[in-house]
Amino acid sequence: MTDSSSTPYHPGERAVQARAGRTERADHSGRAIGRTIPAVAARFLAERRVLVVGAADAAGRLWATQLTGGPGFLRAPDERTLAVAARPAAEDPLAAVLAGPAEVGTIALDPAGRRRMRLNGRSAPDGRGGLVITADQVYANCPKYIQRRSPLEQPSAGVPHVVAAGAVLTTAQRLAAATADTFFIATAGPDGRVDASHRGGNPGFLRAVGPDRLRWPEYAGNSMFMTLGNLELDPRAGLLLPDFETGGALLITGEARTDWSDAAAAGLPGAERVVDLTVTGVVELADATPLTWTGPEYSPANPPAAA
Q: Which of 105, 107, 46 has its CA nearest to residue 74?
A: 46
3-class secondary structure, 20: helix
- Counting as low any pLDDT under 50, the low residues of the chain are 1-4
135: which strand partners?
121
Domain contains 302: no
Domain contains 209: yes
Q: How far is CA 78 from CA 14, 38, 135, in A?
A: 31, 9, 10
Domain contains 304: no
Domain contains 298: no
pLDDT for the residue 153: 87
Domain contains 3: no
Domain contains 306: no
Domain contains 185: yes
pLDDT for the residue 210: 96
Q: Exposed (0-12), middle (13-18) or buried (19+): which is 284, by Cβ within 10 Å?
A: buried
Residue 50's CATH number: 2.30.110.10
pLDDT for the residue 2: 41
Q: Which of 62, 53, 102, 66 has its CA nearest to residue 255?
A: 62
pLDDT for the residue 6: 77
User: What does the pLDDT look like over 256-284, one tens digit per residue?
Assistant: 999 999 999 998 999 999 999 999 999 99
Domain contains 110: yes
Q: Which domain holds residue 275?
A: 13-143+150-293
Instruction: Decide: 180 and 145 in contact? Cβ < 8 Å.
Output: no
**What pTM did the predictor assign?**
0.96
Q: How far is CA 296 from CA 35, 110, 112, 279, 289, in A?
A: 33, 13, 10, 27, 18
Let me know how long the chain is: 307
Domain count, the chain: 1
